[in-house]
Amino acid sequence: MKDVLLYDTTLRDGCQAEDISFTLEDKLRIAEKLEELGIDYIEGGYPGSNPRDADFFKQVKKLKLKNAKIASFGTTRKFGAKPSQDINLKVLLAADTPVVTLVGKAWDLHVRDDLRISQKANLEIIADSIAFMKKRVDEVIFDAEHFFDGFRDNPDYALECLKAAQDGGADWIVLCETNGGRLPGDIHEALTHVNRLIKTPLGIHCHNDGELAVANTLAGVETGATQVQGTINGFGERCGNVNLISVIANLQLKMGKKCVTPAQLKKLRDVSQLFYELANIQPNKHQAYVGDSAFAHKGGLHVSGVLKNRETYEHIDPELVGNRQRVLVSDLSGRSNIVYKGKEYGIDMSNNDTVKEILRRTKELEGQGYEFQAAEASFELLIQEALGRKKKNFNLVGFRVIDEKRKEGEPPISEATIMVQVDGVMEHAAAMGNGPVNALDQALRRALTKFYPSLKQVELLDYKVRVLSTGEGTGAVVRVLIESGDGKERWGTVGVSHNVIEASWQALVDSIDYKLYKDSRRRAN
C-alpha cells in the first residue's frame, strides 16, 4: 500500500516548457518508462489542443500498461453551455481514458478578471462539470488552479470552490500553486484549513518560480496531501513544475513515505537521463540526487572524509537512486583524491610513492590550464605514465592541416595529411573534414586503423574549446575538451596550447591512446 500516489504531467505541463517538444513516439516511450518507475497516473495531454495528443490517447492503449492509469486533461465547461453540449468535455470523453482531470478556477481574481463571470456561476461550473464527467468515467480529478493565491486573497471563496468540487463527486481535489510564488508556510496554513472542511483525498501541484516547488510539495504532503503532481526533471512552463525525481527521493528516503519500490527508486537517474535525451537537452550535472555532480567530491578534505566514511559528506548512499560516488582531480586535490582514483582504476596506490609525483604533476598541469574533471581518460593515462605502464602506440613524424576558402559564399575546405610510425613502419594518410580538427581526426585514425582495427569504432562525440587567458586576443591559451565513444563507453580527454590545432591534437592522441589502453586491459583480463 502506497502512502503517496504519483501523478506525472510531463506529457502535458512538461511540454509547455520552452524548447521542449516530444514526438508521438517519444511520448509513448515516456509512458512506458513512467510505468516502470512506478508512476500511478500518466497525464497524456489535452486531447483537444492538437492532433498529436489525440493520437497519443489512441496509441497508448496498445501499450497495455499494467499499473499506471492514463489521464486526459481539460477545463471545466464554458459559461453558458450545458455539460452535455460543451465541446471540451466531449473531447475528453472521446479520449476514452479511465481518468479525467478537470482544471477550474479557485482564485476570485481569475473569476472576475479572466472568466468575467459571477463567483456563484463559477461554483456551478465546477460542480456540474465534475458531476457530468463522474457519471461517465472511472475517476475524476479536480485541479484547483491558483488555489493558494486564492486562499491568500479570499480564503472563504477558495474553500467554496473546493466544496463545489467535492459536492460534484470528485475523486481527488488537487491544490495548485500555479504561479510558484508561495512559501512552505503558506502551503501548511492553507492545507490545515482545507483538512477541516474537505473529506475528499487531496493532492498538490506546485510550480517552481520561487525555487520552492519541492519544499512546497513536501510541506503539502506533511499536511495531508496524498497525491503529488509534477514532471520529470521539473520540465514545465516558465521556471518549470515540481521535479518528481527530487520529490520521489525525498518522500521515500527522507520522509519514509512509500511511493515506489527500492528497485524503482534505483531507476531515478536512468529515467532522468532518458528524458533529457528525448528532449534533446544537456542533462543538469548539478541536479539533486541524479546529476553527475550530485555525489562528486573535489576538495582533499572531503575526499579524505568519504574514504573513511561515506556519510561524512554524502546525505544518502548514491546507489539508492542509481547514481554513484565520484572523486574529481584538480589543483585542489590531495593525496586522498589520487588514491581514490587509483582504486577506481583498479590500482592500489595507498602505499605507492608515485602518488606524490602524480599529485605534483596534476597541480602543475592544472596551473597551465589543463582540467581533468571532464577528462578522466587523460588523467588515467597520466597515472599509467607515472607508473611506467603507458605504452607508446605510435610516433608522430609530422602533420599538416590546410583550411582553404576558394569562393565567397561557399564553406571552406579542410584537409589534413599526417605521417606516423608504428613499430618502425611508416604510414602516411590524408583526409577531408568539415573543419580542421575533424580532418585531422579522420587522417590520424585512417593512418592507424591498419595497425589498430578497433579504432574504426571510435567516434568524436563532442568538442569544446575554451579561451583561458584574457588580454591576449587571438594569441590566448585555449583548452580543448574532446568526448569520444566506441558504442560501448564514452571518455573525455584534454589538450592545452596557444594553438587550437595543437591543443586538439593532444586531446585526440589521448583519446586514441585511451581506447587502445582499454582494449589491451580487456584482452589481459
- What value does the mean pLDDT of the chain take? 91
User: E strands of 14-126, at which residues?
Assistant: 41-45, 69-75, 99-105
Instruction: Name the pairing type of β-strands 202-206 and 227-230.
Output: parallel
Cβ 416 vs Cβ 399: under 8 Å:
yes
Per-residue model confidence (pLDDT) at position 390? 85
pLDDT over threshold 80, residue 265:
yes
Distances (CA, A) of 373 to 293, 405, 496: 10, 37, 14
pLDDT of 409 reads: 82
CA distance 95 to 89: 10
Is residue 55 in some structural domain? no
The reply to whether 61 falls in a domain is no
- With both helix axes pointing from N to C terminus, report the angle between 87-95 and 119-134 in degrees, rounded to the nearest 10: 30
Confidence band of 351 (pLDDT split at 50, 70, 90): low
Position 68 in a domain: no
Reduced to 3 states (helix: H, G, I; strand: E, B; else coil), residue 177 is strand
Percent of the residues in the chain that have a pLDDT greater than 70, as a whole number: 94
Lowest mean pLDDT segment, chosen from 152-161, 184-193, 293-302: 293-302
- 322/426 same-domain check: no
**C-alpha cell at position 256:** 519514509
Structure-model confidence comparison of residues 71 and 518, the more confident one: 71
What does the pLDDT look like over 296-331, one tens digit per residue? 877 767 767 777 787 888 899 999 999 988 776 654
336/471 same-domain check: no
Rounded CA gap, 404 and 9, in Å? 51
- Indicate the pLDDT class of residue 386, thresholds 50, 70 and 90: confident
CATH code (residue 502) = 3.30.160.270
If phi over 0 gives left and psi between -120 and 50 gives alpha, with beta otherwise, what is residue 233?
left
Asked if 312 and 275 sit in the same domain, the reply is no
Q: Is residue 386 part of a domain?
A: no
Gap between the Cα atoms of 381 and 485, Å rounded: 16
pLDDT band at 343 (very low <50, low <70, confident <90, very high): confident
Query: Are 202 and 338 contained in the same domain?
Result: no
pLDDT on residue 352:
65
The CATH number of residue 323's host domain is: 4.10.430
Same domain, 134 and 177: yes
The model's pLDDT over 45-63, given as tens digits with 9 standing for 90+, comes to 988 777 888 899 999 999 9
In a domain, 380, yes or no: no
For the ranges 76-80, 125-129, 280-284, 336-340, the lowest mean pLDDT is seen at 336-340
pLDDT for the residue 150? 97
- C-alpha closest to that of 174 among 202, 195, 146: 202
Domain membership of residue 31 (yes or no) is yes
Residue 170: its H or E element: none
Contacts with 445 (C-beta within 8 Å, 6 or more apart), sequence order? 455, 456, 458, 512
Residue 333 has pLDDT above 90, yes or no: no
**pLDDT score recorded for residue 64:** 85
pTM of the model: 0.73
Same domain (yes/no): 245, 140: yes
pLDDT band of 370, cuts 50, 70, 90: confident
- Mark whether 274 and 311 lie in a shared domain: no
142: confidence class by pLDDT, cuts 50, 70, 90: very high
Top-confidence residue, 285 or 207: 207
Q: Is residue 253 part of a domain?
A: yes
Query: Same structural domain for residues 103 and 224?
Result: yes
Percent of the chain with pLDDT over 90: 68
Name the residue among 100, 49, 105, 45 with its Cα closest to residue 79: 105
198 and 313 in a single domain? The answer is no
Question: What value does the mean pLDDT take over residues 140-166?
Answer: 98
In a domain, 405, yes or no: yes
Candidate from 64-78, 261-275, 341-355, 415-429 with smallest mean pLDDT: 341-355
Domain that holds residue 425: 395-524
> Do 275 and 303 have their domain in common?
no
pLDDT digits (tens, 9 = 90+) for 393-418: 999 999 999 998 888 888 888 999 99
The domain tally of the chain equals 3
Question: What pLDDT was estimated at residue 475?
Answer: 67
Residues 269 and 324 in one domain: no
Structural contact between residues 297 and 303, judged by C-beta atoms closer than 8 angstroms:
yes
Q: What is the pLDDT of residue 326?
A: 75
- Asked which of 218-232, 353-367, 406-420 is least confident by mean pLDDT, the reply is 353-367
Pairing of strands 5-8, 41-45: parallel
Q: Residue 239 corresponds to which cell in the numbers above?
A: 521556471
Q: What is the mean pLDDT of residues 335-358?
A: 71
Taking the alpha carbons of 348, 350, 353, 355 in that order, is the dihedral positive or negative? positive
Query: Which class for 41: exposed (0-12), middle (13-18), buried (19 or more C-beta within 10 A)?
Result: buried
Are both 240 and 321 inside the same structural domain?
Answer: no
| CA–centroid distance for 225 within its chain | 26
